[in-house]
């Protein structure tokens, strides 16, 4: 039986189903451990989860035009080196997003407003992974030993 806090949200635009609930993102993880967490996860009675790539996680961004899907931030699945970072990747104002609490994600989802790891490694910096920060809409690379949040996808 699933905990009442374990819900899912399906994005009608992308068709992706996301882990949802107030406890999402509250357990920090290093970049290297993040994929194992998702593949081993049973959430709301569902298995088959995985860590989203940078394009998938960016698809959750709302309200920051530079980093929303199709925005001018150059970090995408086809450009994962640090040279792909543009000024737009820095995001927008802190907690100025359209969701409750100022998050830069859809108003229908919940969780810890923080930065979340993607499955995408920073191609030219060993040990770094890409993340999306839903506090300010930023997309950036970070040393993989920093404990980021996780939101798994199907």
Residue 138 pLDDT more than 50? yes
For residue 37, with 0-12 CB atoms within 10 Å meaning exposed, 13-18 middle and 19 or more buried, which class applies?
middle
* pLDDT tens per residue across span 30-52: 999 999 999 999 999 999 999 99
How many CA atoms within 13 Å lie on the side-chain side of 34? 30
d(CA 59, CA 105): 9
Cβ contacts of 151 within 8 Å, gap of 6 or more: 18, 19, 24, 25, 52, 57, 60, 111, 116
Dig out the tokens for 7 from the structure.
Answer: 């819900």
pLDDT over threshold 80, residue 149: yes
pLDDT at 135 over 60: yes
This prediction has a pTM of 0.95
- The C-alpha atoms of residue 141 and residue 102 are separated, in whole angstroms, by 22
Query: How confident is the model at residue 32, as a pLDDT?
Result: 97
Only one residue has tokens 């690379």, namely: 141
């Amino acid at each position: 039986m699933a905990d009442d806090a374990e819900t899912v949200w399906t994005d009608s635009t992308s068709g992706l189903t996301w882990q949802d609930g107030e406890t999402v993102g509250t357990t920090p993880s290093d970049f290297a451990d993040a994929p194992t967490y998702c593949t081993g996860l049973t959430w709301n009675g569902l298995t088959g989860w995985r860590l989203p790539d940078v394009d998938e996680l960016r698809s959750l961004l709302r309200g920051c035009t530079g980093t929303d899907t199709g925005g001018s931030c150059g970090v995408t699945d086809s450009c994962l080196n640090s040279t792909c970072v543009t000024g737009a990747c820095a995001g927008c104002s802190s907690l100025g997003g359209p969701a409750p609490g100022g998050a830069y994600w859809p108003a229908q989802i919940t969780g810890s407003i923080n930065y979340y790891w993607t499955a995408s490694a920073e191609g030219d910096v060993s040990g770094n992974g890409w993340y999306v920060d839903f506090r300010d809409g930023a997309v950036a690379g970070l040393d993989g030993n920093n404990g980021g949040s996780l939101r798994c996808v199907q």
